[in-house]
Amino acid sequence: MTELIHAPWTSEQVEALNQFQQAGPMHPFTCGALHASGMTPVLDATHSGWICPDPACEYTQDWAHAFMARPVAVPSAPAVPDAGRRDRYAAAIRTAGDAAYGNSPFYEAITRAVLAVADAEQADLRAERDQARQDLADSHDDLVTALAADPQAEWADLIRDVSQQRARIAELEQAAASSAPADRDLRDRAHAAAVAKMHEIYSGQIPDQAARQIADAVLAVLPAPADKAAVLHEAADAVKEMRREYVEGELNPSYPTATEQRALIDAEVRLRRMADEAQQDDGAHVYLSTGCHHGDTVIPDGRTGHEYCQTEARRYDGTTKVAGTCKVCGARCICPCHAEDGAQQDEVVVMVHAAPDLSPEAEQALGALIEVAKRRVLGGEAGAT
């Protein structure tokens, strides 16, 4: 059983108890009386004990756990909690959506809004980091002065302050590095993520939940300070899991449309390509279409991935392209399933992009697929002759 302390309490204890009520690691003490509103107010600490903040309530309590009165028991909050960032981004999305919905720059407005929040947070974090560095220097000077004046003094608190400030600076350094994109090209990627997410949840408005989902999509394409590629792969896995939950009815009771499924598939493939770009150097681009990436998997409209690749011609902007070709340069898909749709029969097309789409490991795997394609095509020609 934990140690208890009983009122009356000192001013320092009252301050620590109220701080614990607001930010402590356990549920705060609440009023034990019945209230007409059905709510149970959080108790306030006073010198004479706990009281209910409702003036009409006379409930009191004269004891508390001793650890609640120790300031060091209250953990410091992370520099930028993920949930807090998501809420701020969601608020920015809702504001942009209210102003821009129905207009052509809708998605661009969403992206600008969330990036503005990220940029502002990064600036604030840099300022807080600089102030923390100054505070650390001041605390260090105080520690040196205290030790010089009285080697036997109680200077443990000063040492703890220095350690906490160093930890805080480390948190701020990491948060400032990940709060906003260092590469402005990520604006286009964030835009693409928002477009894909809206294809999934579009319902004619931007409710809170939809705004949060878009915020998550945008946060997924922002670089992490440790391993950007790993984060992007994790985001792609999350999209893949969302597709599974849709199909099995866990995420939404209404069955997803083919458009929603294609949007999720496209979002997953884009995220994986971005992850590959994050961990490789420039090199040859070998094109493998979205559909053929999924092979013989049947999508909701009844087609397999190969059939989808061979027949699908629609794009989000309404224009068309030849099925099974790269949207950037027109390179043909290397999958042998295109042997009958007019693809080059004597050689598999390999194009070079300014930014490659596949990692060296993926290119090595696809190299084996190229050889399979060649053998299948050449074998077909031999059989025809």
- Are 287 and 331 spatial neighbours (Cβ–Cβ below 8 Å)? yes
Q: What is the pLDDT of residue 305?
A: 66
User: For 216-264, what is each residue's pLDDT tens digit?
Assistant: 666 665 554 435 555 556 666 666 666 666 555 554 545 455 555 566 6
Percentage of residues in the chain having pLDDT higher than 90 = 4
Contacts of 369 by beta carbon, 8 Å cutoff, 6+ apart: 288, 334, 335
User: For 83-100, what is each residue's pLDDT tens digit?
Assistant: 666 666 666 666 665 555
What is the pLDDT of the chain when averaged over all its residues? 61
Cα separation, 247 vs 261, in Å, equals: 9
Q: 348 pLDDT exceeds 60?
A: no
Domain ranges of the chain: 4-73, 79-218, 226-279, 282-385
User: For 124-169, what is each residue's pLDDT tens digit?
Assistant: 777 777 777 777 667 666 666 666 666 555 555 655 666 666 666 6
Q: Which range has the worst mean pLDDT, 42-46, 186-190, 221-225, 306-310?
A: 221-225
Give the pTM: 0.28
Q: What is the pLDDT of residue 8?
A: 92
Q: What is the pLDDT of residue 283?
A: 37
Percentage of residues in the chain having pLDDT higher than 70 = 21
Cα separation, 358 vs 20, in Å, equals: 51
Q: What is the pLDDT of residue 321?
A: 46
Q: What is the pLDDT of residue 378?
A: 45
Q: What is the pLDDT of residue 125?
A: 72
Q: What is the pLDDT of residue 347?
A: 37
User: For 291-300, what is each residue's pLDDT tens digit?
Assistant: 665 566 666 6
Binning pLDDT at 50, 70 and 90, where does residue 68 land? Answer: confident
Q: What is the pLDDT of residue 84?
A: 66
User: Could you give the C-alpha distances from 258 to 88, 264, 299, 308, in angstroms and in order?
Assistant: 32, 10, 8, 11
Q: 50 pLDDT exceeds 90?
A: yes
Cα separation, 277 vs 186, in Å, equals: 12
Is the omega angle on the peptide bond into residue 8 within 30 degrees of 0, that is, cis? yes
Which is higher by pLDDT, 208 or 22?
22
